[in-house]
Amino acid sequence: MFSVLIRIYKFIQIQYLFWKKELNPKIKVDLFTRLNMIRKGFHGESAIIYDLTSYSDMYLTDKQRLKSKFINYGYTQTLNNKIIFEKVFSDSLNIPTTLGIIEKGQITFLNSDLKDIDDLILYINKKGTLVFKPISGGGGFGVKIIKYYDSSLTINNETTTIEEFKALVNKLDSYFISEYIEQGEFSKKFNPKTLNSIRIVTMIDPIDNNAFIPIAVYRIGTKQSSPADNWTQGGISALIDIETGRIGKGVIYPRNGKKVFLEKHPETGARIEGQLIPNWDKIKEKILNASNKHKYIKYIGWDVVITDEGIKVIEGNNCSDMNLLQVHKPILGDVRVRSFFSHYDII
């Protein structure tokens, strides 16, 4: 009886999340195409994002992607909750330090040197920048970059007063306060006004029980996605060659209905295609080691920032968005990936 209820719960969750997005499309497609895509398990927008005419059976559908959120069932909060994520993975990865938690406007500080919001303002004055993020969730939504610059506080590059900052904090709920990551020169050259990161997917092979990386992309921010690099908010996704660390062409989320690949950043002019990620083998090694150390979590989408001192891992995603990955190539073309999803009854 309990297993039946679990199956019903999963079915309802998948249907709810699928239709929640489908009823609020960011890319317009004609009704016939949209209905045809829905029938196949895709969102209407996937008709533009994916090359379904050539590789129709090679793409993980949008409903299958939602189904995959249950692969880590029992451990999802380890990834979804940023506080828990830091506690679990900080023994093997460099993760930004959490300074405090905001619940219904009240701050609980995890740093013993901070007692109240005035201390926090002094801390920002000293350190220069802090980040406020929702405890759960992703996609760059709700992120607030707090800076002290030229004797003024700014929130996402907009000048604010001390009183306005305090009023903002008073309205926040389920947020955490984190140290700011200063990205390295390699990342900064693409767009210094956004935090640019790598999405690396790891899976635990059900056959040999070892982690592998099937796909990775470099995410670069734009004015539309600022201060984050989220793809569906207007950022750029560029495929990374797993073996060499070389970056391919970038592509922006096709809100206008046209998929355009870019050799250079459209705003900064920085070249994207052909750039070689520094110390790529070491980055892969660190991520694979962390994944192998926590093999009970089978499927992770890691967000990695390159600094001049190494890497910092912002978060791990329980159910990685597929559109920013599969816009480059269908993921089921990899035999290991097909075997992985088949093992967990996703496909």
Could you read off the pLDDT tens digit of each residue along the chain, which spans 347 residues? Answer: 778 888 899 999 999 999 999 999 999 999 999 999 999 999 999 999 999 988 889 999 999 999 999 999 999 999 988 889 999 999 999 999 899 999 999 999 987 788 999 999 989 988 888 999 888 765 557 889 898 877 788 898 889 888 999 999 999 999 999 999 999 999 999 999 999 999 999 999 999 999 999 999 999 999 999 888 999 999 999 999 999 999 999 999 999 999 999 999 999 999 999 999 999 999 999 999 999 999 999 999 999 999 999 999 999 999 999 999 999 999 999 999 999 999 999 99
**Which of 111, 146, 179 corresponds to the end of one domain?**
179
Q: Do both 75 and 117 map to the same domain?
A: no
What is the C-alpha to C-alpha distance for residues 170 and 173, in angstroms, rounded to an integer? Answer: 8
CATH number of the domain that 309 lies in? 3.30.470.20
Residues 65, 347: Cα–Cα separation, whole Å = 10
Residue 49 lies in a domain: no
Q: Give the model's pLDDT for residue 158.
A: 86
Cα separation of 116 and 121, whole Å? 9
Asked if residue 80 and residue 103 are part of one domain, the reply reads: no
pLDDT at 298: 98
Total residue length of the chain: 347
Output the pLDDT for position 67: 97
In 3-state terms the chain splits into helix, strand, coil percentages (rounded to 5) of: 35, 25, 40
* Residue-number span of the structural domain to which 114 is assigned: 98-179
Q: Cα(315)–Cα(131) distance, rounded to whole angstroms?
A: 14
User: Taking the CA of residue 205 as centre, how many other CA atoms within 13 Å lie in the half-sphere pointing to its CB?
Assistant: 12
| 345 and 339 Cβ atoms separated by less than 8 Å | no
CA within 13 Å, CB half, 204: 17
Residue owning tokens 């090694």: 285
For the chain, give me the number of helices (H) and strands (E)?
13, 14
Under DSSP, is residue 49 helix (H, G, I), strand (E, B) or coil? helix
Would you state the structure tokens that stand for residue 211, as one six-digit string?
């982690």
CA distance 79 to 136: 9
pLDDT on residue 138: 59
Number of domains the chain contains: 2
- Are residues 325 and 290 part of one domain? yes
Asked whether residue 249 falls in the same domain as residue 303, the answer is yes
Tell me: do 230 and 278 sit in the same domain. yes
Residue 173 confidence (pLDDT): 93
Can you tell me which residue has the tokens 């922006």? 252
Instruction: Give me the DSSP letters along 331-344.
Output: GGGSHHHHHHHHHT
Task: Specify whether 232 is located in the same domain as 133.
Answer: no
Is 197 within 8 Å of 305 (Cβ atoms)? yes
- Could you say which of 130, 155, 179 is where a domain stops? 179
Asked if 170 and 209 sit in the same domain, the reply is no
> Which among 123, 155, 179 is the end of a domain?
179
Contact 325, 217 (CB under 8 A): yes
pLDDT for res 246: 98
In a shared domain, residues 191 and 335: yes
What pLDDT is stored for residue 323 in this prediction?
A: 97
| Domain contains 188 | yes
Q: Residue 65: which of 302, 328, 326, 339 has the closest Cα?
A: 326
Token digits for 304? 């990695």
Q: pTM above 0.85?
A: yes
98-103 β-sheet, strand order: 106-109, 98-103, 175-179, 129-134, 144-149, 152-155, 158-160
In this structure, are 288 and 312 located in the same domain?
A: yes
Q: What are phi and psi of 301, to 5 degrees?
A: -110, 100
